[in-house]
Amino acid sequence: MTSISRRPLVGGNWKMHMVGTEARELSRELVARLDQPAAEVVLFPSPPLLPTVAEVLAGSPLAWGGQDIHVEDAGAYTGDVSGPQLADAGCTWALCGHSERRRDHGESDALVGQKALAANRNGLTPLICLGETLSERQNGDTFAVLERQLNGALAGRPDPFALAYEPVWAIGTGETATPEIAQEAHRFLRETLADLIGEAAAGAKRILYGGSANPQNVADLIALPDVDGFLVGGASLDPEKFSTMIGCCGEAA
């Protein structure tokens, strides 16, 4: 596939951590450290923290997004968050289909696709998460799972979007896919994308790695031809670690 220059993208998924004062402090430190980041950076705080994060990040090069999005723009959906609400909070991104949402809330591939469309409809870019469990990898089903998830997510042809490969067996476990495993999965996703949206469009899409990325492994991973950045969990709560990881993206450029 033709090589295309893609600006690295790093997402910080804060998951269900912190309260307002902690989020404000972390956001301020990141703004101070990342006045000229080597990658596009987007933070994903819990919904109640969005106004606090938006206040601090306004005018900085850092963006913010929602950890989830409902398929409808309004309605009787207690506990959910809509695209218009995220956009009103200044979000420009939304996570769709994170492995924890699939696991804990039973989100299907089709639902993830509908969420991606809801994001686009409201001016947001969906970061679509895909990845296999340990048993699926051990059974040799990795590619079948990734193809199924990708087909479901792109059934309605959302655009723009980015992808995050999350080997579920590596999330929060301290395990990390070897560079060979990561590149194999990312290459497969890009080749499958090419069949769905064309080679040129697939070559321009960013595919992030999202399985326990940390300052010790990012340099090897970002050097891979089909790894375009990271979706970072726990390490994104540490400003020094997170900033170091972002810096590695510039060193590989």
Active site residues: 98, 166
**Strand ranges, E, within the chain:** 9-13, 40-44, 63-66, 93-96, 125-130, 162-165, 207-209, 229-232
Which of 69-83 are b and which e, b meaning 16 or more Cβ less than 10 Å from the residue's Cβ? bbbeeeeeeeeebbb
Give the integer Cα–Cα distance in Å for 82 and 170.
30
3-state SS, one letter per residue, for 54-98: HHHHCCCCCEEEECCCCCCCCCCCCCCCCHHHHHHCCCCEEEECC
Rounded to the nearest 10 degrees, the angle between the axes of helix 20-33 and helix 239-251 is 30
How far apart, in Å, are the Cα atoms of 162 and each of 15, 53, 65, 139?
A: 19, 22, 13, 27
Coil/strand/helix, residue 11 = strand
Distance CA 253, CA 234 (A): 25
Q: How far apart are CA 196 and CA 194, in angstroms?
A: 5
